[in-house]
């Protein structure tokens, strides 16, 4: 059984079994996650892939695994939509709708003040409340 698990993990790590293809890397600074443009294999639609290299960041592996676990349950309007999560022996992947780093429009000053306010408002005030009285 371990041989089969190892063989499948190896095939996935090489990209053969992944449900997406990795494209160009998008620079996001000092993060342990590498952001790539991607394409979903099933329908050819654009996606983004956050990749974590286990071997290069062993000390941060628990943090990355927690991020993968949390991203599976993240359901919030106005926040990134997670399409899939994949864990292999050498990498962790979070596949999302296509995104760009927020620093890009901020640096280009193409994000208006009204847009920034609306984004903060939608994230802060449209979240479903977890308190029992709100159900």
Higher pLDDT, 5 or 60: 60
User: What pLDDT digit, counting tens, does each position of 17-70 carry?
Assistant: 788 988 889 876 788 899 999 999 989 999 999 999 999 999 999 999 999 998
1, 4, 110 from 65: Cα distances, Å: 24, 23, 34
102, 103, 114, 116, 119 from 110: Cα distances, Å: 11, 11, 11, 11, 14
Class of domain 2-100: alpha beta
Partnered with residue 53 across adjacent β-strands are 91
User: What pLDDT digit, counting tens, does each position of 90-109 carry?
Assistant: 999 999 999 888 776 667 77
For the chain, domain boundaries: 2-100, 110-134
Check if the beta carbon of residue 49 is closer than 8 Å to that of residue 97. no
């Amino acid at each position: 059984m371990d041989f089969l698990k190892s063989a499948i993990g190896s095939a996935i790590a090489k990209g053969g079994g992944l449900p997406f293809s990795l494209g160009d890397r998008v620079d996001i600074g000092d993060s342990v996650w590498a952001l790539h443009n991607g394409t979903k294999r099933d329908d050819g639609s654009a996606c983004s892939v956050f990749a974590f290299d286990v071997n290069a960041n062993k000390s941060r592996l628990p943090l990355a695994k927690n991020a993968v676990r949390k991203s599976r349950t993240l359901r919030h309007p106005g926040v990134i939509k997670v399409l899939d999560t994949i864990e292999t022996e050498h990498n962790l992947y979070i596949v999302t709708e296509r995104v760009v780093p927020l620093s890009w429009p901020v640096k280009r000053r193409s994000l208006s003040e009204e847009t920034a306010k609306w984004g903060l408002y939608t994230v802060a005030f449209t979240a479903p409340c977890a308190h029992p009285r709100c159900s």
